[in-house]
A and B are shown apart, each in its own frame.
Chain A
């Protein structure tokens, strides 16, 4: 029997919605401060003064209105077009001041498609002086060099996940942000799903009782096709499914359960990047050990959910169901769908990329930390490095059982060894 239950659990509003509500458009006339919004204006002025001092972006002569953050989009690939550009163009809090990509035809296409002015630049350095902040949607291996350069010039950066390929690069980015008091936010958009915050609150309120295990299973055949093809190689992507899909999982896992350590990791990498992996983790929650498992795939469909098991039942958080979570009480056939009090059943699906953008803008305006800052994002990169450092090979009998027989059909004698595993990343501990 299925039972939908929305009202009995009285949960506070989720911070995402709260932050969105707090980000009302600023007054149009600086100086005429009112009681509620004057503070934020003052802080913006301070930030712009700092930026100008460091030779950065808030150059006079641009058209942005007061309080409007001038945004540059660096890297105009698939995620930029599908997610970031719509979020920026539909937001009253920001103005798209520049787009940049090496591919001139891509820039031309986007300018025509979105009727943009003369704001396209092939060299990302040309955006300096025209923007207050950038969204960095470049291939993963370029996050660190480009991000460090822009942060060092006082430009705030919202960097697509993962923050960088190694812990060392992450630390360079964080240091650059600190040195110019710039905001470094990281685009873990799943953190803006209402279901993520709801899960966090349920766990903190000990809704499930003592936690026993967690189990992530996320997979689909193929998926996102970056236009640059950076996802085809470890040198540009930093890893396989563990980086592409798993970075969201690892970030959420750390957010929900605190410090997590990897106990085993097996994947199907054969010298390139893995398409499948199975990883086991251990954490300590409320002084008690907690074990979990993560299964990720880019070759076949998995349930796309995390199941958190506690003494009172199981919490089922589905990737396709970002507004609510499902609770299955122990020893009961009932299923309870739990929604945050702020979300009515009829609420539209939130635009999480715009929530993320507004969180970034709020951090720029108020000096508050963004929901996912550089230090938090570094933790998932460190965990990824640990996984790769202890990686073993998944068993794939269908892949190897016939090789010897097939090799004889080739024109040359078969070589002695197959492709070796890549060496562990240098900074892995």
Chain B
């Protein structure tokens, strides 16, 4: 069995935002020795800045995972990918972790397991999960697989559920700036709901603690910034960096998601007088409508009359899609709490929102995503 306090850590998904920063902090602080597992070597530039012990391969190839695990004391599993990577890849990593008797397996999940409308009691980790999108379903399935390895194989697993991760290199951050610039985001109903953010370095702190704290195995933790930040504040701060204004709209003004639009657009087409006249010329349709009971006929007539064109938000061009991630997210009313991580792991979230945004701005300017001259 590996030591209780691991030294060498296999990091899958090491070329991503969290994995990249995790390897960076491990290397710069010397707290752990990272072994980044790299699939596409051309994506590893952020971590090749350090003289690390790279393992390259494919998570779906059991042999390359076994080779990478050899000599490691713990694992942080961050890899994302297609169906095979999310299932078979994870299975290979779990199997190798058991075989090599690692002391800790930290799996990074997501608050997406609660669905796009999380229940109010999902403030804490005890709430029931009910994903409604493919990503949430996959993350929940992964969590179950990881916990099965704890029950059946005695693997010391820890599951962390972060919300939106922001900071340098974060797709949330870059996406927010670009979406504001392209005028595809608005503040919905004042943006008063919580944004559920975690600065990437705070998540790294939680991963560090999960790797060795004896209270961690078998537990699921939310990892969020403790300071509540509303969507209004988050979007407004990013808009200030981007030098753009963000309009305010009511939820009723949003363009509905595609599934709802399918019905609405179909009904709108049917409401067109010419279409109705054409349909009436088709004997089968006419016969079908005549067979309907009178209440059903009246309901259809009423529904067709009620269909209205989609409203534009103050102009003919600008419409905001309700299913855009930065708009759909504003409907989430729950602020997930990391109180359990603070209590059991000693999680402190050392970077405040203001400091996180300052550091993020510095990176955005050096990356020339923001205008350097306006700094």
Q: What is the bound-complex CA distance between A406 and B27, given in angstroms?
A: 12
A414 at the interface (CB under 8 A from B): yes
Which of B28-36, B183-191, B328-336 interfaces with chain A?
B28-36
A397 to B212, CA, bound (A): 28
Tell me, in angstroms, the Cα distance from A415 to B31 when the chains sit together. Answer: 8
Q: Does A226 contact B (CB under 8 A)?
A: yes
A419 at the interface (CB under 8 A from B): yes
Known contacts A406-B204, A409-B205, A411-B211: A270-B27 contact under CB 8 Å: yes
In the assembled complex, the CB of A385 is this many whole angstroms from the nearest CB of chain B, namely 19
**Cα distance, A403 to B27, chains bound together (Å):** 10
Contacts A232-B54, A272-B51, A414-B31 known; A398 to B360 CB distance under 8 Å?
yes
Question: Could you tell me if A226 and B42 are in contact, using CB atoms closer than 8 angstroms?
Answer: yes
Check A226 against B49 for contact (C-beta < 8 Å).
Answer: no
In the complex formed, the residue of B with least CB distance to A269 is B49
Which secondary structure dominates where chain A touches chain B? loop
Most buried by B among A269, A398, A400: A398
- Within 366-424 of A, Cβ neighbours of B (below 8 Å) are at 394, 396-403, 405-407, 409-412, 414-415, 418-419, 422
Closest A residue by C-beta to B369: A300
Known: A403-B29, A406-B350, A418-B28. A225 touches B40 (CB 8 A): yes
Instruction: Specify which chain B residues have a CB less than 8 angstroms from the CB of A398 in the assembled complex.
Output: 167-168, 359-360, 362-363
Contact, CB under 8 Å: A406 / B201: yes
Q: Whole-angstrom distance from the CB of A310 to the nearest CB of chain B?
A: 23
User: Count of chain A residues with Cβ under 8 Å from any Cβ of B?
Assistant: 47
Best-buried of A224, A240, A297, A411 by chain B (most CB within 10 Å) = A411
Interface size class of B (residues with CB under 8 A): 35 or more
CB-defined contacts of B47 to chain A, threshold 8 Å:
272
**Closest chain B CB from A224 CB (angstroms):** 5
Say whether A232 contacts B369, CB under 8 Å: no
B366 to chain A: which residues have CB within 8 Å? Answer: 394, 396
Q: Does B67 contact A (CB under 8 A)?
A: no
B218 contacts A by Cβ under 8 Å: no
Contacts of B29 in A (CB 8 A): 403, 406-407, 410, 414-415, 418
Q: A409-B209, A412-B5, A414-B29 are in contact. Are A402 and B49 (CB under 8 A)?
A: no
Task: Check if A225 sits within 8 Å of B49, measured CB to CB.
Answer: no
Rounded to whole Å, the gap between the CB of A140 and the closest CB of chain B is: 14
Cβ contacts under 8 Å, B42 to chain A: 222-226, 231
A397-B362 contact, Cβ under 8 Å, with A409-B31, A414-B30: yes
Question: Contacting B50 at CB < 8 Å: which of A298, A405, A407, A419?
Answer: A419
In the complex, chain A residues whose CB is within 8 Å of the CB of B7: 412
Query: A415 contacts which chain B residues (CB < 8 A)?
Result: 29-30
Report whether A232 and B208 are in contact in the complex, using a CB–CB cutoff of 8 Å: no
Which residues of chain A come closer than 8 Å to B212, judged between CB atoms? 410-411
What chain A residues lie within 8 Å of B290 (beta carbons)?
none
**Does the CB pair B362–A402 fall under 8 Å?**
no
Check if B164 is an interface residue, CB within 8 A of chain A.
Answer: no
Q: Does B285 reach chain A (CB closer than 8 Å)?
A: no
- Asked whether any CB of chain B lies closer than 8 Å to the CB of A302, the reply is yes
Query: Is B43's CB under 8 angstroms from A240's CB?
Result: no
- Report yes or no: A403 in contact with B359, Cβ–Cβ below 8 A: no
Complex CA–CA separation, A415 to B360 (angstroms): 27
Which of B6, B41, B348, B355 touches A226 (beta carbons < 8 Å)? B41
User: How distant is the Cα of A406 from the Cα of B211 in the complex, in angstroms?
Assistant: 13
- Do residues B50 and A272 form an inter-chain contact, with CB atoms below 8 A? yes
CB contacts (< 8 Å) of A233 on chain B: these are 48, 51, 54
Nearest chain B residue, comparing its CB with the CB of A276: B366
Residues in B whose Cβ lies below 8 Å from that of A274: 49
- The verdict on A54 contacting chain B, using a C-beta distance below 8 Å, is no
A329 to B330, CA, bound (A): 48
Do A402 and B45 have beta carbons less than 8 Å apart?
no
Which residues from B are CB-within-8-Å of A234? 51
Q: Which residues of B contact A223 (CB under 8 A)?
A: 42
In the bound assembly, the distance between CA atoms of A273 and B47 in angstroms comes to: 9
A224, A298, A399: the one within 8 Å of B24 (CB): A399
Question: Which residues of chain A have C-beta atoms less than 8 A from B233's C-beta?
Answer: none
* Interchain CB contact under 8 A, B49 and A411: no
Chain A: CB-nearest residue to B39: A225
B60 touches A (CB below 8 Å)? no
Partner of A419 from the list B25, B51, B169, B355 (CB cut-off 8 Å) is: B51
Asked, given contacts A401-B359, A406-B350, whether A275 binds B48 with beta carbons under 8 Å apart, the answer is yes
Per the 8 Å Cβ criterion, residues 316-337 of B in contact with A are: none
Chain A residues near B50 (CB-CB < 8 A): 270-272, 419
List B contacts of A407 (CB < 8 A): 29-31
Given A398-B360, A398-B362, A403-B28, check contact A225 B48 (CB 8 Å): no
> Would you call A410 and B208 a contact (CB within 8 A)?
yes
- Enumerate the 5 nearest inter-chain pairs by beta-carbon distance, A residue then B residue, closest first: A410-B31, A225-B42, A409-B208, A298-B45, A411-B5
Can you list 25 A-B contacts with CB-CB less than 8 angstroms, sorted by A residue number? A222-B40, A229-B56, A232-B38, A232-B54, A233-B51, A241-B45, A270-B50, A273-B48, A275-B48, A298-B45, A398-B168, A401-B359, A402-B359, A403-B25, A405-B205, A405-B351, A406-B205, A409-B31, A409-B205, A409-B208, A410-B32, A410-B208, A415-B30, A419-B28, A419-B51
| Further contacts, 13 of them, CB under 8 A, given A399-B24, A414-B31 | A225-B41, A225-B42, A231-B42, A233-B48, A400-B28, A405-B348, A405-B350, A406-B205, A407-B29, A410-B29, A411-B211, A419-B50, A419-B51
